[in-house]
């Protein structure tokens, strides 16, 4: 009895599922178009000049590299746009911050999660409370603070302090190394590692540093990846802080760099070539590490 | 690798470390010192300074010493008054009417100037209700306009962004081939910088040559007149909402997706055996299972929205006519461009209180849900 009802239901159910799948694909393709078209337009238009871009707008040609296509825009940017300098600055600032941040915050998390000492619950509560302070709410007083900091010089004439943090790479790196959020991520991960591991190691004579570096950190690779990816993305895309602290071209990173270029040209092709150049490497890196990117974001969301 | 570990713990069954109460204190100190020092100097200290500065006249560069000024900054930031305007009368006491037969009112600027106590106030807006005209005036109207703008922005961007993100998460959570590709496409704007996106969309939104207007015109055979997306007071903020939602929703989508996938499959199977329909499964399994994720996403999105700055700075600089000005923008203008750290700090403190309120409300809501 039950068998017969099932067999009569199957075809219609199958057909229903197929329609649902088709509908899903249609909606997804529609949204995909909405997500892709600005990037596609940007890249294609970066090979055209103003008249070319404008005349192609009303047709599909806006998304096709046809007509008067050349590399002139790119040549101009490399010549006049300072792009390599800004790129290098961004790379140094983001890279150094991420490496230091992983080291410093995982060490603190290790101390909080795996060492026994008085006051660690208090400190932990304090760190967690700091997670809700948005950067926007401290940017202005922080600006005054760092403007008073002198720069440490170590050279032939010994160690001395002079100048100000403004217009340096230091000012873009140091304030972002310590991160309550990263400490919390590492802390949660470290808690789940069986205690027997480091207890045994410490009985065998390992110091806390050795336990941290040789036992705990190698296991914590997924958290390292998460902090690296999210940290790099955040640093690379920073805008507010550099426009307040860096006016000199020499230390300027990419984002204010493009904004400044955008302000002094009327050639849309050049602007779009600039934005394409700095977006494509990022998209490429994203495509390569796509799985990790998505995983990082996903685990963070669940932790909240 | 783990085998010897357990053996060695068995050798010492009576936790030998307990005798020495806090043996790791020294290591803990130097291992946590860099991070804790950093957090203190670059978050706690500026935050405390923000509160301190907000009661002073601190400037970025100034030859004069800093003085304590009490609540003057808060007074300037938060003072709002309502004024009931009396219609203008002639010498005989008759109400003066304009050409359309409406009573005429004095100009607010002249009212404010004539009163010693209102000298510092400027007009925020005016409403006519029940034959009465009321003017709302503030010492710093830009702050209130900015506050209103970020509240409007949040109210629009949060539902739009999270709603579509949830829909997309549901769609790509199905076991169909190719879902990875869609996930990658929807996530890609997240890795693109906001500055780049704002610049590209400035072109897309352009009234004359913008791609969106040109496409709308082509698709409607010229029936849709070009819209001034960023130049029209009434829609400039909405244009920024659409772009911001577009940029950020891939992030939310992935978080929702992870939330959906963390709900055990067996729950759905059990419900199906009990004869639950699609809606019931959604109502009694998906929604409760997604509660924490939803809470997280809504709170972080709202807090992010309150700090709106980059898009506006690149695209409209707060215009037209302050319709896209934000609190953060006002803080940066006062604190950085006008070098008035004290006033910028005051705005920062108020912004922080706003964020704290939202975080507290969120905690209350999520705790209420668990009980």
Q: How far apart, in whole angstroms, are the C-alpha atoms of residue A197 and residue A202?
A: 9
At residue B7 the predicted structure's pLDDT band, cuts being 50, 70 and 90, is very low
pLDDT digits (tens, 9 = 90+) for B148-181: 999 999 999 999 999 999 999 999 998 888 898 9
Question: ∠ at Cα A191 (A185, A196), nearest 5°?
Answer: 145
The H-assigned helical ranges of B192-317 are 194-205, 211-219, 233-261, 265-273, 278-281, 287-289, 291-306, 310-315
For residue A3, pLDDT over 70 is answered with no
Residue A10: the pLDDT is: 63
Residue A79: the pLDDT is: 87
Contacts of B6 in chain A (CB under 8 A): 196, 200
Residue A42: the pLDDT is: 93
**Contact A28/B183, CB-based, under 8 Å?**
no
B229 close to B214: Cβ distance less than 8 angstroms: no
| Among A140, A208, A259, beta carbon nearest to B335 | A140
At residue B87 the predicted structure's pLDDT band, cuts being 50, 70 and 90, is confident
pLDDT top residue among B147 and A264: B147
pLDDT top residue among A163 and B205: B205
**Residue B218 CB contacts under 8 Å (≥ 6 apart), including other chains:** A58, A59
**Contact B195/A134, CB-based, under 8 Å?**
no
Residue A160: the pLDDT is: 73
For residue B346, pLDDT over 80 is answered with yes
For residue B365, pLDDT over 70 is answered with yes
pTM over 0.90: no
Count each helix (H run) and each strand (E run) in chain B, helices first. 17, 3
Contacts of A97 in chain B (CB under 8 A): none
pLDDT digits (tens, 9 = 90+) for A30-73: 999 999 999 999 999 999 888 888 888 777 888 888 777 888 88
**Contact B24/A300, CB-based, under 8 Å?**
no
Contacts of A21 in chain B (CB under 8 A): 174, 176
Percent of chain B residues topping a pLDDT of 70: 92
pLDDT digits (tens, 9 = 90+) for B282-331: 888 888 889 888 888 898 899 999 999 999 999 999 989 999 999 999 99
For residue B21, pLDDT over 50 is answered with no
Give the chain A residue nearest B363 (alpha carbons).
A304
How far is A103 from chain B, CA to nearest CA, in Å? 9
For residue B130, pLDDT over 80 is answered with no
For residue B250, pLDDT over 60 is answered with yes
Q: Which H or E run contains A161?
A: strand A158-162
Give the chain B residue nearest A102 (alpha carbons).
B35
Q: Which of residues 107-136 of B touch A (CB under 8 A)?
A: none
At residue A157 the predicted structure's pLDDT band, cuts being 50, 70 and 90, is confident
Q: Please provide the average confidence, as pLDDT, over all residues in chain B.
A: 86
A270 φψ region: left (φ > 0), alpha (ψ -120 to 50), beta (else): alpha
Percent of chain A residues topping a pLDDT of 70: 95
Contacts of A53 in chain B (CB under 8 A): 209
**B9 interfacial to chain A (CB closer than 8 Å):** yes
In terms of C-beta density within 10 A (0-12 exposed, 13-18 middle, 19 or more buried), how is residue B168 classed?
A: buried
Average pLDDT rounded to a whole number, residues B46-70: 89
Residue A125: the pLDDT is: 93
| Among B182, B196, B336, beta carbon nearest to A279 | B196
In Å, what is the CA distance from B62 to each residue of A104, A144, B59, B76? 36, 12, 6, 21
Return the number of other C-beta atoms located less than 10 Å from residue B316's C-beta: 23
Q: Testing the interface with A: which of B42, B189, B310 to mutate, by most A Cβ within 10 A?
A: B42
Contacts of A19 in chain B (CB under 8 A): none
Residue B3: the pLDDT is: 39
Q: How far apart, in whole angstroms, are the C-alpha atoms of residue B239 and residue B245?
A: 10
Closest CA to A181 of A278, A300, A26: A300
Contacts of B62 in chain A (CB under 8 A): none
The complex's ipTM? 0.87
Give the chain B residue nearest A144 (alpha carbons).
B60
Contacts of B336 in chain A (CB under 8 A): 140, 143, 244
**B209 interfacial to chain A (CB closer than 8 Å):** yes
Residue B23: the pLDDT is: 65
Under 8 Å CB pairs connecting chains A and B tally to: 309
At residue B10 the predicted structure's pLDDT band, cuts being 50, 70 and 90, is very low
Q: Which of residues 352-371 of B touch A (CB under 8 A)?
A: 352, 355-356, 359
For residue A84, pLDDT over 60 is answered with yes
**B199 interfacial to chain A (CB closer than 8 Å):** yes
How far is A79 from chain B, CA to nearest CA, in Å? 20
Residue A9: the pLDDT is: 54
In Å, what is the CA distance from B97 to each residue of B103, B107, B110, B128? 4, 15, 19, 16
B311 close to B172: Cβ distance less than 8 angstroms: no
pLDDT top residue among B229 and A5: B229
Average pLDDT rounded to a whole number, residues B82-110: 79
The phi and psi torsions of B206 (rounded to 5 degrees) equal -55, 140
For residue B368, pLDDT over 50 is answered with yes
How far is B124 from chain A, CA to nearest CA, in Å? 25
Average pLDDT rounded to a whole number, residues A123-150: 90
Q: Please provide the average confidence, as pLDDT, over all residues in chain A.
A: 87
**Contact B195/A237, CB-based, under 8 Å?**
yes
For residue A6, pLDDT over 50 is answered with no
Beta strand spans in chain B (E) = 80-85, 122-129, 132-138
pLDDT top residue among A92 and A154: A92
In Å, what is the CA distance from B278 to each residue of B8, B269, B281, B297? 54, 12, 5, 24
């Amino acid at each position: 009895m039950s068998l017969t009802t099932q067999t009569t239901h199957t075809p219609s159910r199958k057909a229903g599922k197929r329609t649902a799948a088709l509908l899903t694909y249609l909606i997804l393709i529609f949204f995909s178009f909405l997500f892709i078209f600005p990037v596609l337009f940007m890249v294609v238009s970066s090979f055209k000049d103003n008249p070319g871009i404008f005349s192609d707008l009303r047709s599909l040609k806006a998304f096709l590299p046809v007509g008067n296509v050349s590399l002139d825009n790119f040549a101009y940017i490399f010549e006049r746009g300072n792009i390599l300098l800004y790129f290098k600055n961004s790379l140094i600032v983001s890279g150094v911050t991420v490496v230091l941040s992983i080291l410093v915050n995982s060490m603190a998390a290790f101390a909080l999660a795996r060492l026994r000492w008085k006051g660690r619950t208090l400190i932990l509560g304090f760190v967690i409370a700091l997670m809700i302070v948005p950067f926007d709410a401290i940017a202005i007083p922080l600006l005054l603070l760092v403007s008073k900091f002198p720069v440490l010089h170590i050279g032939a004439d010994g160690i001395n302090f002079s100048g100000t943090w403004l217009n340096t790479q230091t000012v873009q790196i140091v304030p972002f190394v310590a991160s309550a959020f990263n400490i919390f991520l590492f802390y949660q991960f470290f808690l789940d590692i069986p205690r027997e591991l480091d207890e045994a190691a410490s009985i065998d004579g390992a110091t806390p540093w050795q336990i941290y570096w040789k036992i705990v950190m190698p296991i914590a690779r997924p958290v390292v990846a998460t902090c690296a990816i999210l940290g790099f993305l955040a640093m690379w895309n920073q805008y507010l802080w550099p426009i307040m602290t860096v006016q000199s071209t020499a230390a300027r990173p990419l984002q204010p760099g493009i904004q400044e270029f955008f302000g002094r040209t009327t050639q849309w092709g050049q602007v779009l070539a600039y934005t394409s150049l700095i977006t494509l490497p990022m998209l490429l890196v994203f495509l390569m590490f796509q799985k990790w990117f998505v995983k990082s974001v996903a685990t963070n969301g669940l932790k909240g | 690798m783990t085998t010897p570990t357990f053996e060695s713990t068995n050798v010492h069954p009576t936790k030998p470390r307990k005798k020495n109460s806090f043996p790791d204190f020294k290591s803990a100190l130097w291992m946590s010192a860099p991070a804790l020092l950093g957090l203190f100097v670059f978050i706690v200290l500026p935050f405390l300074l923000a509160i301190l500065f907000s009661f002073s006249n601190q400037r970025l560069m100034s030859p004069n010493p800093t003085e304590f000024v009490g609540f003057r900054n808060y007074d300037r930031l938060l003072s709002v008054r309502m004024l009931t305007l009396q219609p203008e009368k002639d010498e005989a006491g008759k109400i003066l009417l304009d050409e359309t037969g409406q009573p005429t009112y004095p100009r607010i600027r002249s009212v404010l100037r004539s009163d010693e106590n209102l000298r510092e106030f400027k007009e925020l807006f005016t409403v006519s209700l029940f034959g009465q005209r009321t003017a709302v005036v503030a010492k710093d109207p830009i702050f209130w306009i900015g506050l209103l703008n970020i509240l409007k922005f949040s109210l629009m961007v949060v539902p739009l962004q999270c709603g579509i993100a949830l829909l997309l998460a549901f769609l790509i959570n199905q076991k169909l081939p190719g879902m990875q590709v869609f996930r990658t496409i929807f996530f890609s704007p997240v890795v693109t910088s906001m500055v780049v996106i704002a610049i590209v969309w400035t072109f897309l939104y352009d009234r004359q040559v913008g791609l969106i207007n040109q496409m709308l015109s082509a698709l409607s055979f010229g029936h849709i007149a070009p819209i001034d997306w960023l130049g029209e007071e009434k829609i400039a903020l909405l244009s920024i909402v659409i772009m911001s939602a577009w940029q950020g929703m891939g992030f939310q989508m992935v978080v929702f997706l992870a939330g959906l996938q963390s709900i055990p499959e067996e729950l759905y199977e059990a419900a199906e055996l009990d004869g639950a329909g699609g809606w019931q499964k959604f109502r009694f399994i998906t929604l409760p299972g997604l509660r924490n994720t939803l809470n997280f996403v809504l709170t972080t999105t709202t807090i992010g929205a309150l700090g709106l700055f980059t898009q506006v700075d690149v695209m409209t600089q707060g215009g037209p006519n302050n319709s896209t000005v934000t609190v953060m923008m006002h803080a940066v203008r006062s604190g950085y461009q006008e070098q008035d750290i004290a006033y910028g700090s005051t705005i920062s403190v108020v912004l922080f209180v706003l964020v704290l309120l939202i975080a507290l409300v969120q905690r209350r809501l999520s705790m209420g849900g668990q009980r």
